[in-house]
Amino acid sequence: MKYLLLAGLLLTGQYLSAQPLAQSYTELPNPKPINQASWQAVKAGTYVSFASPDVRYEKHTAPTAALTPQWSTKAWRGEKVHTQLLIWTTKPLDPVSLVWSDLRNNKGNTIPAGQVKAGFVRYVMTDALNPDGTGCGNRKVVDFDSSLVADAIDMVQPLAIPQQTTQPVWLSVSVPANTPPGMYKGTVTIKTGQNSQLTPLEYTIEVLNHTLPAPKDWRFHLDLWQSPYAVARMHNVKPWSPEHMAAMKPYMQMLANAGQKVITATIIHDPWRSQTEDVYGSMVRWVKKRDGSWTYDYAIFDQWVNYMMALGIDQQINCYSMIPWDLKFAYYDEAARKDTFLIAKTGTSEYDNHWRPMLTDFARHLKQKGWFGKTTIAMDERPMAAMQQALQVIKNVDKNFKVVLAGNYHPEIQQDLADYSIASNQVIEPATLQQRKERGQKTTFYTACPEGYPNTFTFSPPAEATWLAWHSAHKGYDGYLRWAYNSWVKDPLRDSRFRSWAAGDTYFVYPGPRTSLRFERLIEGIQDYEKIRILKEQFQKNNQTDKLQQLEQVLKGFEIANLKATPAGEQLQAAKSMLNSL
């Protein structure tokens, strides 16, 4: 007897052998021609400069603005800060590598070079929004103006840089929590060839007398949905094998280091109607016995939960879904000796009879494992009537079962939801939000394909990923949800486009694992959220009403409507300067 598994999961060996995940790879050709006019204005040679982290610089256009020979920033102890630098050249360079130093202050203190990372920013194919300003719908490549865009941050070097190419580099510094406050200086050097190098770039970080907690202690409720099945495909391993668990570890550790709080678990097969490249299998095996009774095997569920908790993602287990998009529930029928399925609508006896025994047994199992208080029955974008019917079944089994929903705001059921993530265009009353906080309930918001902005598509301005957490702080939300951390498309390293949504909608990070501009900027925003929270608590405790009002006044600007007039990067520049001065 076997699990219902993703068809074709292991049929990717040809791609994988051609594109090793942790090795160098070749980007797709640029559909746009080299901007010869921009290069004609450049004197022959190779150049390097710091640049804005808010800009996705074009690969074959010489940069003309937002460049500076130095970078200077402020950081809390325990904070990761970053910027972008550019190499642009009229001649081919091969190989090119990156070298960086310790950061030192005038008292002999250091931030070790091991706390610094620099990686080449790679170009991936992207598309654009629909004419109506959204990113949803059946998308054909010929209908969009596709282009290469800078997004993935590589961990592989050296890299060859062709002539008339602009090559971004992402530089980040993680300031240890025990770093003495002060001014620290470091350098990053671009090496070209075996023994030659460009002039080192100097930068300065002023470490402030504030300390950011470790990511596991951040209160920001980050919920990025994981796909174990996408990792299995890309690494060409059997799902849930030791090789699969080993392959997932760096991806899930990277997510834990971003402050992730939620484990994404699937307790039925294919809750989202095969909408992704990799179908989500069930982590629970449902078996209908010959006598009509049911048994449930939680081996994979337990393996997955234990695995994620060991990495530090241990606050919540969201189990999808009692209301799948096609209302189809798969199981193994012993009498028929085959995998089969039931289609049942909420509110029917068939639905109730199917779920009541499972929930009863699931509650028993969760309590035995000590996980009941952390586990939720999770749904997304389901109608209110269906939610009310499912809630009735759940609460009749165990009134202490927690339920979560990501979707439109329904005042009628909000008090029944332990974690409610509302779409970014929805409005929840401040009084209701406060009541939910007092009850210990989480309230977050999410973005998806309907929102043209703010969003985290591969063509979205990178600063919008940071802006999201500031918006959360302004609205009083507990955090942010995005449906896909790593639901990769067919060729995610080179082509982020997908058949149903705007490019990049399905993943934040790349195989390798490789982080991205979007993911790093998202973490930046979460850190800012924590800084805002800490300062607010400090100002309230010390009765510093003037500083509290100053902070609240800045937060008021983080309304979605304001992005039309003032881009996210401009809003953040002023707000972050204020935040680091308090």
Mean per-residue pLDDT over the chain, rounded: 95
Distance, in Å, from the CA atom of 221 to the CA atom of 200, rounded to the nearest integer, reads 40
What pLDDT does residue 194 have? 73
- Calculate what percentage of the chain has a pLDDT beyond 70: 96
Please check whether residue 461 is in contact with residue 54, taking contact to mean a CB–CB distance below 8 angstroms: yes
Query: Tens of pLDDT along 482-503?
Result: 999 999 999 999 999 999 999 9
Rg of the chain in Å (alpha carbons): 25
Residues 169 and 259 in one domain: no
DSSP line for 286-351 = EEE-TTS-EEEE-HHHHHHHHHHHHTT--SEEEEE-SS-TT-EEEEEETTTTEEEEEE--TTSHHH
Q: Which pLDDT score is estimated for 154?
A: 98
241 vs 307: CA distance, rounded Å: 13
> How far is residue 501's CA from residue 277's CA, in Å, rounded to a whole number?
12
Q: Are residues 356 and 501 in the same domain?
A: yes
Residue 535 in domain: no
Smallest Cα–Cα separation from 110: which of 211, 208, 203, 184?
Answer: 184
Q: What are phi and psi of 119, to 5 degrees?
A: -145, 145
Q: Are residues 199 and 228 in the same domain?
A: no
Average pLDDT over residues 547-574: 97
Count structural domains, the chain: 2
At 96-151, the pLDDT tens digits run 999 999 999 999 999 999 999 999 999 999 999 999 999 999 888 888 989 999 99
Instruction: Tell whether the model's pLDDT for residue 10 goes beyond 80.
Output: no
- What pLDDT does residue 42 have? 96
Average pLDDT for 534-550: 97
- Per the DSSP assignment, residues forming a β-bridge with 507 are 486
pLDDT tens track for 301-352: 999 999 999 999 999 999 999 999 999 999 999 999 999 999 999 999 999 9
Give Cα 121 to chain centroid, integer Å: 17
Q: Are residues 207 and 286 in the same domain?
A: no
Q: Give one DSSP letter per residue of 368-420, joined into a string.
A: HHT-GGGEEEEEES--HHHHHHHHHHHHHH-TT-EEEEEES--TTTGGG-SEE
Q: Omega before 95 cis (within 30°)?
A: yes
Q: Rounded distance, CA 476 to CA 563, Å?
A: 19
Q: Is the pLDDT of residue 436 over 60?
A: yes
Residue 535 burial (CB < 10 Å; 0-12/13-18/19+)?
middle
pLDDT band at residue 515 using 50, 70 and 90 as cut-offs: very high
The distance of Cα 171 from the centroid of its chain, to the nearest Å, equals: 19
- Is residue 534 situated within a structural domain? no
Choosing from 185, 212, 239, the residue where a domain stops is: 212
113 plus 234 within the same structural domain: no
What the block records as the tokens of 273 is: 């109607």
325, part of any domain: yes
Q: With 80 as the cut, is the pLDDT of residue 195 above it?
A: no
SS3 529: helix
- Single out the residue of 476, 455, 571, 461 nearest to residue 532, CA to CA: 476
Same domain, yes or no, for 357 and 431? yes
Contacts of 347 (CB under 8 A, 6+ apart): 385, 386, 389
Cα 471–Cα 476–Cα 477 angle in degrees, nearest 5? 75
For residues 349 and 493, state if they share a domain.
yes
Q: Which tokens go with 547?
A: 């500083």
Same domain for 158 and 296, yes or no, is no
- In the predicted model, what is the mean pLDDT of residues 510-516? 98
Instruction: Please tell me the distance from the alpha carbon of residue 177 to that of residue 211, in angstroms, as a whole number.
Output: 6
pLDDT for 142 equals 86
The secondary element (H helix, E strand) that includes residue 363 is helix 349-369
197, β-bridge pairs: 191
Q: How many CA atoms lie within 13 A of 484 on its CB side?
A: 28
In a domain, 577, yes or no: no
Last residue of some domain: 490, 513, 529? 529
Q: Which of 516, 507, 525 is nearest to 569 (CA)?
A: 525
The whole-number pLDDT of residue 11 equals: 29
Residue 198 domain-assigned?
A: yes
Above 70 in pLDDT, residue 18?
A: no
Helix, strand, coil percentages, rounded to 5, for the chain: 30, 30, 45
167 and 281 both lie in a single domain: no
Domain hosting 284: range is 218-529
Which residues does 124 contact at the CB level (< 8 Å), separation at least 6?
A: 27, 28, 148, 149, 151, 152, 458, 492, 493, 494, 495, 496, 510
Let me know whether 255 and 369 are in one domain: yes
- My answer on whether 172 and 255 are in the same domain is no
User: Does the pLDDT at position 16 exceed 60?
Assistant: no
Q: Going by C-beta distance under 8 Å and a sequence separation of 6 or more, which residues neighbour residue 142?
A: none
**CATH code at position 49:** 2.60.40.10
Question: What is the torsional sign of CA 29, 32, 33, 37?
Answer: negative
* Contacting residues for 111 by C-beta, under 8 A, at least 6 apart: 102, 103, 104, 173, 175, 176, 179, 184, 186, 205, 207
Residue 557 lies in a domain: no
Query: pTM for the whole thing?
Result: 0.95
β-bridge pairing 338-343 and 46-51:
unpaired
Domain boundary among 507, 529, 551: 529
Is 87 contained in some domain? Answer: yes
Cβ contacts of 431 within 8 Å, gap of 6 or more: none
Please report, for the domain that includes residue 273, its CATH number: 3.20.20
Residues 260 and 308 in one domain: yes
Which tens digits make up the pLDDT trace of 24-76?
Answer: 999 999 999 999 999 999 999 999 999 999 999 999 999 987 788 889 999 99
Task: For residue 231, give both structure tokens.
Answer: 């990792």
Whether 558 maps to a domain, the answer reads: no
pLDDT at 20: 58
